[in-house]
Amino acid sequence: MRGDSSGPARRERADFRNAAAGTKQVATILHISDLHFGPPFVERVGEALLRIVPRLEPDVIVASGDFTQRAKVEQFELARQFLDRLPDVPLVVVPGNHDVPLYRIRERLFEPYRLYRQYIAPELDYKVELDGLVIVALNSTSPVRTIVNGRIDEEQLEYCSRAFADAHPEAAKIVVAHHHFAPAPDFVRDQVMPKAKRAMDRFVSLGVDVVLGGHLHRAYIGNSLDVYPGRDREHGVIIVQCGTTTSRRGRGREREKNTFNLLSVGPTTLRVTHFMYFDDLDGFAPLSSHLFPRPGHLIPHETRGPHEAQGPHETRGPQQAQGTGTTSGDSPPTAR
Ligand SMILES: [Fe+2]
Ligand SMILES: [Fe+2]
């Protein structure tokens, strides 16, 4: 389903992708989220996404939850039809809090994932291994314990440990979950999952390269060190949160906006390009690009001498996408 793969057309697509990604690649990951099929879904934006994705030639597509608005059969059907129109590459998915019934209490309590499993994916926690990548998908929804927020329990962290245990040393280790493990450091208040810091510490110890998520309805591209203490860069994990790719539920600085991320995983670096939908283009275009060193590596142009490794003038790779500020986790949860 990648279309014409010969000659100039293919080169043009490759140039487009390289210009967007800007680095030598091992693997390209398209990261979309919060499609919200149902009333919030914006058809023209969805069509724009379907037009651009083949040109980006992703090796894998990650969709980090909230496929529907109210977990209804017809919304799951539309979501499934949409996913089937994406290029035929591996698709990694996790459920979001909107993918379990909210008001249908019996279903919520006794079979919360029935429709999700039927239409989106049968598994909830699982591992996908691709050339150069190990991706662990974790179900962060917890229909019985919480409504909007999520949970990751110790068992799931143990699963992560086992899943990454036999990964090739060079492979990028990627975790996908709908809910965020660190609050975005902007001016919108968000409640992280209970024990989110514990999970992030575990990811650090496992050498996880990047955590992908959604739920916030605005992008946040940064590092856990933006919000959690740590004594050096190796104690941070790159965080890539995706805005809502196709719904009118954008929030904060992405209010009424639609975005997705393109990750280019190289041998030593990870580049994240943030795409936004623009009305005048009737399409998505890159808005910014963020280069990070992968664990144990440096970013280009960076030198690490004996005295500059931790020096104040060192250029740090982990940078947040937009805006800084303080965010505390004590505000009431907001439905997303
Ligand atoms: Fe959500
Ligand atoms: Fe959402």
Ligand at shortest distance from the CA of 140: 1
Q: What distance in angstroms lies between residue 182's CA and the mean position of ligand 2's atoms?
A: 16
Name the band, by pLDDT with cuts 50, 70 and 90, for residue 213.
very high
Do 176 and 136 meet the contact criterion of CB atoms below 8 Å apart?
yes
Closest of 275, 261, 254, 253 to residue 211, by C-alpha: 261
Please give the Cα distance from 36 to 249 (Å, whole number): 9
Q: In what order do the strands lie in the sheet with 283-293?
A: 91-93, 60-63, 27-32, 259-265, 269-278, 283-293
Note the helical H segments in 57-190.
73-84, 105-110, 114-119, 154-165
CATH number of the domain located at residue range(s) 13-293 in this protein: 3.60.21.10
324: DSSP letter: -
Domain limits, the chain: 13-293
Task: Kindly state the percentage of the chain with pLDDT values over 90.
Answer: 68
Name the band, by pLDDT with cuts 50, 70 and 90, for residue 324.
very low
Q: What distance in angstroms lies between residue 157's CA and the mean position of ligand 2's atoms?
A: 24
Name the band, by pLDDT with cuts 50, 70 and 90, for residue 332.
very low
Span 224-253, average pLDDT: 91
Name the band, by pLDDT with cuts 50, 70 and 90, for residue 336.
low
CA atoms within 13 A on the CB side of 142: 12
Ligand at shortest distance from the CA of 251: 2
Span 126-155, average pLDDT: 92
Name the band, by pLDDT with cuts 50, 70 and 90, for residue 307.
very low
Name the band, by pLDDT with cuts 50, 70 and 90, for residue 308.
very low
Q: What distance in angstroms lies between residue 313's CA and the mean position of ligand 1's atoms?
A: 38
The yes-or-no verdict on residue 14 having pLDDT over 80 is no
Ligand at shortest distance from the CA of 97: 1
Span 119-132, average pLDDT: 96
Lowest mean pLDDT, pick from 11-25, 154-168, 230-244: 11-25
CA separation (Å) from 330 to 142, 149, 218, 316?
A: 20, 13, 19, 30
Closest of 273, 291, 287 to residue 56, by C-alpha: 273
Cβ neighbour number for residue 79 with a 10 Å cutoff: 25
Q: What distance in angstroms lies between residue 251's CA and the mean position of ligand 2's atoms?
A: 10
Q: What distance in angstroms lies between residue 309's CA and the mean position of ligand 1's atoms?
A: 39
Which of 11-15, 105-109, 229-233 has the highest mean predicted lDDT (pLDDT)? 105-109
Q: What is the CA radius of gyration of the chain?
A: 19
Ligand at shortest distance from the CA of 36: 2
Please give the Cα distance from 40 to 35 (Å, whole number): 9
Specify the residue for token string 């059907």. 77
